[in-house]
Structure formats: structure tokens, C-alpha cells
Amino acid sequence: MTAQAALLHGPLLEQTGLFGGNALLLTGPARVGKLAVAWAVAAQFNCSGTRGMSGEACGQCPSCRTLAAGTHPDVLTVEPRATTSTGKTARRKIIPIGAILDSRDDKNEYDIHVYEFLEVRPSFRRRVVIVNGAEHLGNTAGNALLKLVEEPPHGAMFVFLAEDARAVLPTIASRSARLRVSPAPDRAVAFALAKAGHEPDPELVAFAAGRAAVLADPDTVRNALADARELDEAIGTGLLTALEAAERLEKRFDPAWHPEALRFVWQPRPPTQRARADTALDALQAALEAYASPSLSFQVFVLALRDAFGLA
């Protein structure tokens, strides 16, 4: 992940490598690679080897090898809770107070909270807390972080990630140095794919649109694109064929990738058709989030698509 960040965001890592403060706020579009950059920053500040041309970590020292294995003891990632106390998908993203410190409201959703993590001295050089989704910090949780950000124990560092700095609590944003993570050029994305051992794929590069996170699991993205094309072709073949394709899509549907893959496949269609198809897709996602019958929801979705494309 850190090597990929160096390929796609080398100039940014040159800046972070010289950073001497306590907190960074990395902003940029979804999937642009903010988390990869954050991990690269954690690697920089714990590396004991010789840094690369862009200031990236060496990738070979004990700290870098541990980080590559995903078991680095000095890096803690805090994210919004993904499920409710009943095990269902959380409808509202929020980082609760229990992620920051012990609280009566803490339902053991996080294995370790930030205060506990920072009580321990670093095993290598510097403890790093990555807050992935800083815009989802509530007032209580954000205020609990302030003292740590201002006076971090053992010289710890915070890296906050957000799509829009304006959505981050002002108290957090004002105490952080801001850096923008921008989409990488298509040629850099293609080069990163090749370095990772993947075949050239113009469609995947076009879908990525410079977003590094798309490259984390290219096979999953390719499968989502193939599913989207299959449904799109089936829509124009006939109602029965479309319903059968929808049934197959239901079984494979990944809310992280399939909606975007469908919109990508619809790009050649006229704007009016795309707009109506987007509305149908939004309705499908809302129905699934409301725990409606998936089978019925996908059937309704197909009927709405056929209507959107003038096939009803």
C-alpha cells in the first residue's frame, strides 16, 4: 500500500516527510487514496532505513515489514462503526466517544480506544492514529481528542482523513495542517497496475479516474464492471432476461462497487436516461438499507430501468 502511494502521490509524500507537527488533515474525493497516503505517512515516521526519492519509507526495515503485514503496533486506525448493537448495518456513520476513551456509551465496538493506545510508548519511533472519516467525529468524540492532539503523549501523531475539510469539526481542522490528495494521472494509475503485476486494462484505468483505492482489489472491480455490463445488456434483450440478470446481480451485489460500476456503464446513454437510471439505483439502495426484500427490490429496479431506457 505504501509503495503504491509513493507511485501515485510522490510529491505529497515529499511534503509529509518534512512535517514536524502533531496533526495532518488529508482531504480529497472518495477512494482517491487518502488511507494509503496515511499509511505511507505512518511508515515514514517509523522507518529506520533509507528513504526513497519521494521521501517514502524504505520498505525493508523491521518497521516497514511489520506495517506491510498489517500488524504494526504503533498504528491505530479509527473509523465509523459499521454495524449497530444488533448486528445490522449502521445507517448513520459516526465515530462515537467509545472510540476515543472509556465511556458509559461504549458497547465494546472498538477493541482499543485512542487514549488507551497512546498510553503505551512506541515500539519503533512514533505512534500514529489514523482517523478515517474525520467528518463523522461527533462533538463529544472530537472534543475528547483535542487535548491529545494539542499535547500528544510520547510525541504521537494524528492523521485525519476527510472528503471535505468543511465537514470536519473546526476545533480539529484548526489544529491540523491541511494537505489535498488529488487524483493521479491515468498514466500513473496504469504504471501502478503494471508494477503490481496486473495486465493493462484501459477500462479499469478509466473507471479509476485517478483514484488509488480502486487499485487495491482490481479483480473485484473488474467483476463489478462485468456484472454491470451483463445487466445493462439484459435490460435491452427482454423482460425475462433482465429479471434473470437482476437475480444473479442480487446474489453478488456489493454496495461498495456495483452502484458505481452501473453508473460507469451507463455513461454512453443520453443524459435523461442516465438521470432516471440514477434515480432508480438510488431507490434500490434505499430499499436495501431499509432491509426491504432484496428479491423484490431488484425486480422493481429492473422495471424502473426498462422504463428509464424507454423499453417498458
Q: Which residue has the higher pLDDT, 92 or 34?
A: 34
Inter-residue long-range contacts of 268-271, CB under 8 Å, 24+ positions, other chains counted = 269/309
Q: Nearest CA to 168 among 38, 35, 27?
A: 27
Question: Does residue 208 sit within a domain?
Answer: no
The CA distances from residue 12 to 16, 60, 102, 121, 256, in Å, are 6, 21, 35, 28, 27
Residue 134 DSSP code: G
Question: Does residue 57 sit within a domain?
Answer: yes
Question: Does residue 205 sit within a domain?
Answer: no
Q: 167 and 250: one domain?
A: no
Question: Does residue 188 sit within a domain?
Answer: no
Q: Which of 182, 206, 233 is the last residue of a domain?
A: 182
Which H or E run includes 236? helix 218-237
Q: Which residue has the higher pLDDT, 159 or 17?
A: 159
**Hey, is 81 helix, strand or coil?**
coil
Q: 228 and 168: one domain?
A: no
Query: What does the block give as the cell for 167?
Result: 465537514
Measure the N-to-C terminal CA separation of the chain; round to a whole number of Å: 46
Q: 233 and 174: one domain?
A: no
For residue 237, pLDDT over 80 is answered with yes
Mean pLDDT for the chain? 90
Q: 63 and 173: one domain?
A: yes
Query: What does the block give as the cell for 5?
Result: 502511494
Q: What is the pLDDT of residue 53?
A: 82
For residue 295, count CB atoms less than 10 angstroms from its CB and return exposed for 0-12, middle for 13-18, buried for 19 or more: exposed
Question: Residue 254 sits in which domain range?
Answer: 218-308
Count of domains forming the chain: 2
Q: 26 and 121: one domain?
A: yes
Q: What is the pLDDT of residue 213?
A: 84
Query: What does the block give as the cell for 249?
Result: 446481480
Buried b (16+ CB within 10 A) or exposed e, 14-39: eebbebeebbbbbbbbebbbbbbbbb
Q: Which residues pair with 179 in a beta bridge?
A: 26
8 Å CB contact between 75 and 39: yes
Q: 161 and 234: one domain?
A: no
8 Å CB contact between 1 and 32: no
Residue pLDDT, tens place only, 176-213:
999 999 999 999 889 888 888 888 789 999 999 999 88
Residue pLDDT, tens place only, 6-32:
778 888 999 998 898 999 999 999 999
Q: 222 and 277: one domain?
A: yes
**Hey, is 83 helix, strand or coil?**
strand
Q: Which of 182, 199, 227 is the last residue of a domain?
A: 182
8 Å CB contact between 79 and 93: no
Q: Which of 137, 159, 182 is the last residue of a domain?
A: 182
Q: 171 and 245: one domain?
A: no
Question: Does residue 83 sit within a domain?
Answer: yes
Q: 23 and 105: one domain?
A: yes
Q: 74 and 123: one domain?
A: yes
Question: Does residue 210 sit within a domain?
Answer: no
Give the strand order in the sheet containing 177-180: 75-78, 128-132, 157-162, 23-27, 177-180
Q: What is the pLDDT of residue 6?
A: 73
Q: What is the pLDDT of residue 107?
A: 57
Q: What is the pLDDT of residue 4?
A: 75
Q: Which residue has the higher pLDDT, 97 or 225?
A: 225
CATH number (domain holding residue 89): 3.40.50.300
Q: State what percent of residues in the chain have pLDDT above 70.
A: 93
Residue pLDDT, tens place only, 108-124:
567 789 999 999 999 99
